[in-house]
Structure 1
Amino acid sequence: MNTENILAADAAPLLEVRDLEVAFRSSTGLVPAVRKASLTLYPGQSLAVVGESGSGKSTLASAVIGLLPGTGRVTGGSIVFDGQDITRADARVYQALRGSDIGLVPQDPMSNLNPVWSIGFQVKEALRANGLAGVADARLDALAAAEKGEGRPTGGRIDVDEQVALLLEDAGLPDAARRARQYPHEFSGGMRQRALIAIGLAARPKLLIADEPTSALDVTVQRRILDHLGEQIHTLGTAMLFITHDLGLAAERAEHIVVMHRGRVVESGPSIEVLQDPRHPYTQRLVKAAPSLASRRIQTAHAAGIQVSEDELGVHEIAADVDEVLRVEHLTKVFDVRGAKGEAKTLTAVDDVTFGVRRATTTALVGESGSGKSTVANIILNLLDPTSGKVFHNGVDLSTLGAKELFALRRIMQPVFQNPYGSLDPMFSIFRVVEEPLRVHRVGTRKEREARVAELLDLVSLPRSVMRRYPNELSGGQRQRVAIARALALKPEIIVLDEAVSALDVLVQAQVLRLLTDLQSELGLTYLFITHDLAVVRQIADDVVVMEHGRLVEAGPSDDLFAHPQRDYTRELINAVPGASIPLYGEETRG
């Protein structure tokens, strides 16, 4: 009898949530966050809960593991885990369940790892908390023993440092024994996420809750981590509750999908069924908005010889002879690495990069984290000096400009940064945030500036009433609209968008991308779009420049590059787009 049969033989649900209601206490009374939500998860099954921010998906998961924030509490319904009703279980019961029976991989790896503790120490803490430090893999031993009919063993002994290294190695970290001695700031985002997976699976739980575990990662890193996580939970027979806002990713990684909207479950069913034939209007909107699936639709249409409309693509026909508004030539940037010796003393972040950006078009600069794309953007924005090479604007070498000319250049070239939570001053009102560039450049009187701010908020589809509010009172999508309004304040020619939609839900992301396309058509803007997400690139870019390890590996018109990628690296980026392997509604299912 094998591992799968042991799990399959138990037909009882591992987790049953019935008519769950969760509310948060406020000064005006109870505010409902989850309303009459139900789901069922079986041993070894993977189930994805999908929805935008505020839909209640993370609150539902927090209720299951007994970690509701602040004043949140379960006000109705039931949660039954492994036959035990834990709806109103006390702290002692949850303490026994967490880690050993229910594991958690949280969303943000930087804020969920303690910066002053080594990675190995934090994995050890998870083992100690569950009484497994120095105990060989007890759950796998149990499964092996059950196959031989020997009952549950006590588990052999193992050196705890070796145990930590094995767990990190299992999570896909190379050179795990050395890595265990390092600290979170020495890890990349992908490595931190692997460390959290090692901690989440340290006690070999029956259920793993993965809350947006890869939302901040590159598509290739995301695919490797989810592939590895999938292999691990399959080997252990662990069930997974996967929280995400990307329907394409959910359909690719989970057998069953539950769609939540405003605290309610609006649709539920097998992944392919929900993806191919969504019944609820909200699910239909999610399918339409998911960049991964939109990219797939465009690819399918082109393969069938169908011309996709400008409205669906978001890009427009560009004449071949359009002039270049920006050009970088032989751009190189070398950083000194503090404390390093020999060859490691310098890091070449950008290595002899040359490309042009055509006027009133969108050029996407793509690549994984560390490929040098943001460094190129910062050099173009004159926030970094190149080690060698030149940047030209309308044929003028920017290195020849004096301080006065460079100040004037700021009006022409504006940035929109990645994180709408970090790029707006929390002490400034929205009016002051948007007005600041006008004030710095001494544009207009106070009354004229106020009129311009109101006009800009109209332009990005925000009500004028937000003017007196502060960033913390706005959603992520609204904040990013404010950042775009600020970038437009000085009527620039060029906007450099550095991962400007990667932190947003798919529905909000779709709205912001549509807004950018409309503004480009209306104002003749030129965009340099820095991103790692080729699904988004497929929708909006006219030209694509691909970077790897600081070097330009491929460049060309978007359609050509997606239809006929020349390099293996580009093909890997395209193939890593979630949902690319899933047949859409009306397509034949592939075997």
Structure 2
Amino acid sequence: MKILDVHNFSVKFKLDKEEYFDAVKSISFSIEQGQILGLIGESGSGKSVASQCITRLLDDALLQGDVLFNLKTEQVNLLTCRDDKLRSIRKNEISYIFQEPMTALNPLLPCGKQILESAKEKSDEFLTNLLLKVELSDTTRVSESYPHELSGGQRQRVMIAMALAKEPRLLIADEPTTALDIAVQGEILNLLKKLSKQEEMGILFITHDLLSLKGFADKIAVMYHGKVVEQASTTDILNHPKHPYSKALIESRATYKKRGTVLAEIDDLLATNNNRLEFKYPKIELLPISKNSNDVLIRLSDINKSHFKSSLFSQEETKVLHDVNFDLNAGDTLGLIGESGSGKSTIAKLILNIWRPTSGDISLYDKSIYNNGDLSREIQLVFQDPFSSLNPKHTVGNAIAEVIQTIDKKTVKEKVVSLLQEVGLTASDFDKYPHEFSGGQRQRICIAKALAKNPKIIVLDEAVSALDVSVQAKVLNLLNDLKREKGLTYLLISHDMNVVSYFCNKIVVLKQGKVVEAGETEKLIRTPTSEYTKSLLEHSIN
């Protein structure tokens, strides 16, 4: 039985008196009980707008077509039904999981209380069972914690528990696993698949990563410029894609097999011929081979880090890092990989001297990092979310100029323009504001800002994980070019083994604050020694 049946569904937004923007153009799809439909496309393809407008969440959207939702007793058109009927369906029958749990959760309420707000049964036993369902075994601590006290992966599991609390018939999940490491992503997808079958719950799963749907979704619909351009079973689309855009999406993904080559970008894979989109097979272009250096830039020696929570008569210690040791050599691209809460970002904060270790030492050029003066001339950081890294009230030119002025106040504009051009932007972008750029362009601006002081080392904290697959390819190609031109050394913090195995020459694997394995990428991929590394590889490369 179909739970949701969407026919010729269109969404428009009014720009001015006479002009309209078509965000979604006559799309059709259906979801049966216990079925999972993957809706895939890049940012701006219309997939999130479509998912929100199905239940009329966007007030200023102009909607056309039919969205038929089957209740047990009747069929309701969600676009034309009364408001009180729609509110009842939203409250009891349909749940949403959003991409960014930190903005979706209330920072002032403990997570347990927030989950029970939407639950049909308001008991501690029901809450405990829900948390165990989403693999949060430390139920008491999680339910009493505020959102900022949990890792990104734990917050996303709380959001999933909240969505499942009312036992919905349809679950709409908008990029719910994008920020999670591959092993956790696999667990969450397996969990959702199991719950879908057990509860006979339909799932509309929105993502930009086509390969994450393998073994999870029953069907895939591919969106491109507001239209569904291809719709078929998951096996057919992954193994025999027909539409040029579907082929390009698969081809542009960073994987271990493409290591040592320039990634194909979607723009280069698609061509228009007589108003028809065509797929062009990529030319294999090898990256120049870089020589390994034995010069140690950064050395971590027996690093331990604990957080302390003080009460009236006692002090509670939470150990985050346990005896971490590794070297970052000149010219390396070192990948630091591990699940949420494994201590990856903690290591970045210690290297940047934002935090201090509880014990152990970090050296830069064989000298303690704490005696090195201005670290910003040597090490810079690129964050995961470029939008929150940039001041929305400053033009991007001024944001970069602010950094350069601390070194040289003369010829500031020329240097900023030069930096923008180095990262693939133009001189005209100097006077634009962050909101005028796409996600990939904003990340380029953050890279330009990091390069402003000519550092030797750049720490990339999940710098490509929130980007579309095609944009990810462009940014990784840019980082490879900059490394070669400027002799940079990278520390890439990531949860994506595919990206790390493609981009890095060395890998350090972290689990629960401990280094479980480290070494050259080729060796670690081919002959992993720890069970955890093997599981990471099983969920990605193998």
TM-score, length-scaled by structure 1: 0.81
Deviation at 1:365, TM superposition (A): 1.4
Once the two structures are superposed, the pairs formed by residues 400-415 of structure 1 within 5 Å of their partners are: 400-401=371-372, 406-407=373-374, 409-415=375-381
Question: Matches of residues 354-503 of structure 1 in structure 2 within 5 Å?
Answer: 354-401=325-372, 406-407=373-374, 409-441=375-407, 443-445=408-410, 448-503=411-466
Q: Displacement, 1:416?
A: 1.2
Do residues 114 (structure 1) and 103 (structure 2) align? Answer: no
The one-letter amino acid paired with 2:65 is G
Q: Contact 1:412/1:494 (CA < 8 Å) preserved in 2?
A: yes
Gaps of 5+ in 2: 261-282
Q: Which has more radius of gyration?
A: 1
Report if aligned partners of 1:331, 1:386 keep a CA contact under 8 Å in 2.
Answer: no
Q: Residues 390 and 199 (structure 1 numbering): CA distance in 2 closer, same or farther, change over 3 Å?
A: closer
How big is each residue's C-alpha offset from its partner over 1:432-451, in whole Å with a ceiling of 9 and x where there is no partner?
1111221012x251xx2111
The whole-number CA distance in structure 1 between the counterparts of 2:507 and 2:163 is: 38
Q: Which residue of 2 aligns with 1:157?
A: none
- Return the alpha-carbon distance in structure 1 between the equivalents of residues 385 and 101 of structure 2: 16
What is the identity percentage for the equivalent residue pairs of Structure 1 and Structure 2? 38
Pairing of 1:509-520 with structure 2 (within 5 A):
509-520=472-483
CA contact (8 A) 1:314 1:517 kept: no
Could you tell me which of 1, 9, 15 is aligned with 1:26?
A: 15
Q: Write out per-residue CA displacement over residues 319-376 of structure 1, whole angstroms, 9 at most, x where no aligned residue.
A: 45x2224131424243341225999633333333222223223111122222222222
Q: What amino acid is the match of 2:309? A: R
Distance in 1 between the 2:138 and 2:365 partners?
49
Instruction: Give the Cα–Cα distance (whole angstroms) in 2 for the partners of residues 412 and 172 of structure 1.
Output: 41
Please state whether the residue corresponding to 1:490 is helix, strand or coil.
coil
RMSD of aligned residue pairs (Cα, Å):
2.6
**Cα distance 1:161–1:553, how it changes in 2: closer, same or farther (>3 A)?**
closer
Among candidates 204, 207, 214, match of residue 251 of structure 1: 214
Q: 1:47-100 CA deviation, whole Å, 9 max, x = no partner?
A: 0000111111111111222212x41231x2221122432222232121121242
Map of 1:15 onto structure 2: 4
Partner of 1:523: 486
- 1:48 alignment partner in structure 2: 38
Letter in 2 for 1:81: F
Q: Is the 8 A contact 1:315 1:540 kept in 2?
A: no
SS in 2 for 1:565: coil
TM-score by length of 2: 0.88
**Which of 116, 122, 133 is residue 124 of structure 1 equivalent to?**
116
Q: Which moved more, 1:562-571 or 1:364-373?
A: 364-373
Compared with structure 1, are the counterparts of its residues 122 and 286 closer, same or farther at alpha carbon in structure 2 (3 Å cutoff)? same
Moved more, 78-87 or 496-505: 78-87
Q: Contact 2:298–2:364 at 8 Å: present in 1 too?
A: yes
Would the alpha carbon gap of residues 181 and 491 (structure 1) be closer, same or farther in structure 2, given more than 3 Å must change? Answer: closer
Within-5 A mapping of 1:81-160: 81-82=69-70, 83-127=75-119, 132-133=120-121, 160=123
1:420–1:476 Cα contact (<8 Å) kept: yes
What is the aligned partner in structure 1 of residue 165 from structure 2? 202
Paired AA for residue 345 in structure 2: S
Q: Distance in 2 between matches of 1:123 and 1:269?
A: 35
Q: Deviations over 1:516-570 (max 9, x none)?
A: 0111122221111111211110110011111222222211111111111111121
Q: Is contact 1:315-1:542 (8 Å) kept?
A: no
Q: Give the Cα–Cα distance (whole angstroms) in 1 for the partners of residues 291 and 198 of structure 2.
A: 54
Moved more, 461-470 or 236-245: 461-470
Amino acid corresponding to residue 194 of structure 1 in structure 2:
R
Q: CA deviation at 1:462?
A: 1.1
User: d(CA) in 2 for partners of 1:195 and 1:357?
Assistant: 36
For residues 128-178 of structure 1, the C-alpha deviation after alignment (integer angstroms, 9 at most, x for no partner) is xxxx447xxxxxxxxxxxxxxxxxxxxxxxxx4433333333333325466
Residue 488 of structure 1 and its aligned partner are, at CA, apart by: 1.3
Instruction: Specify whether residues 288 and 99 from structure 1 end up closer, same or farther in structure 2 by C-alpha distance, changes over 3 A only.
Output: farther
1:475-533, CA deviations, whole angstroms, 9 ceiling, x for partnerless residues? 22111100001111222222111111122122211111111011112222111111121
Which of 296, 303, 320 aligns to 1:332? It is 303
Looking at structure 2, the residues matched to 288 and 417 of structure 1 have their Cα atoms a distance apart, in angstroms, of: 26
1:313-324, aligned counterparts within 5 Å? 317-319=289-291, 322-324=293-295
Does the CA contact (< 8 Å) of 1:434 and 1:489 recur in 2? Answer: yes
- Find the aligned partners of 1:312 and 1:535 in 2 and give their Cα distance: 19
Partner of 1:278: 241
Which moves more between the two structures, 31-40 or 175-184? 175-184
2:60 matches 1:71: yes
In structure 2, C-alpha distance between the alignment counterparts of 1:133 and 1:354, rounded to whole Å: 48
Match of 2:277 in 1: none
Partner of 2:68 in structure 1? 80
**Contact 2:384 2:465 (C-alpha < 8 Å) held by counterparts:** yes
How many angstroms apart in 1 are the aligned matches of 2:142 and 2:168? Answer: 24
Distance 1:175 1:91, change over 3 A: same
Q: Which amino acid aligns with 1:427?
A: K
Residues of 1 paired with 2:29 and 2:207: CA distance? 16
Change (3 A) 1:244 1:423: same
Residues 333, 489 of structure 2: 8 Å contact kept? yes
Are the aligned partners of 2:497 and 2:536 in contact in 1 as well (CA < 8 Å)? yes
* CA 508–314 in structure 1, closer or farther in 2 if over 3 Å, else same: farther
Larger deviation, residues 21-30 vs 479-488: 21-30
| SS at 1:110 equivalent | helix
What displacement does 1:385 show? Answer: 3.0
Match of 1:185 among 125, 134, 148: 148
Change (3 A) 1:227 1:264: same
1:331, 1:388 within 8 Å by CA — same for their partners in 2?
Answer: yes
1:313 and 1:558 map into 2 onto residues whose CA distance is 21
Closer/same/farther in 2, CA of residues 337 and 93 from structure 1, 3 Å limit = same
Q: Could you list the per-position Cα deviations for residues 306-327 of structure 1 after superposition, in whole angstroms to 9, with x for gaps in the alignment? A: xxxxx9698653445x222413
Contact conserved, 2:175 with 2:207, CA < 8 A, in 1? yes
Query: In 2, are the aligned partners of 1:314 and 1:514 still within 8 Å (CA)?
Result: no
Q: 1:398 to 1:125 in 2, by over 3 A?
A: closer
Q: Partners of 2:366 and 2:526 in 1: how far apart?
A: 32
**Cα deviation, residue 223, structure 1:** 1.9
Q: In the alignment, is the contact (CA less than 8 A) between 1:173 and 1:194 conserved in 2?
A: yes
Q: How many residues align?
A: 516
Task: Sort the Cα spacing of 1:166 and 1:250 in 2 relative to 1 into closer, same or farther, 3 A.
Answer: same
CA distance in 2, matches of 1:123, 1:492: 45
CA contact (8 A) 1:99 1:200 kept: no
Please give the alpha-carbon distance, in whole angstroms, between the structure 2 residues aligned to 1:492 and 1:183: 37
SS across alignment from 1:282 = helix
Letter in 1 for 2:81: A
| Residue type at the aligned position of 2:78 | I
The answer for the alignment partner of 1:572 in structure 2 is: 535
Relative to structure 1, the CA distance from residue 121 to residue 317 in structure 2 (aligned partners, 3 Å threshold; closer, same or farther) is same
The amino acid across from 1:474 in the alignment is F
Aligned residue type for 2:177? T
- What residue ranges of structure 1 are gaps of 5+ in the alignment? 1-9, 135-159, 300-310, 582-591
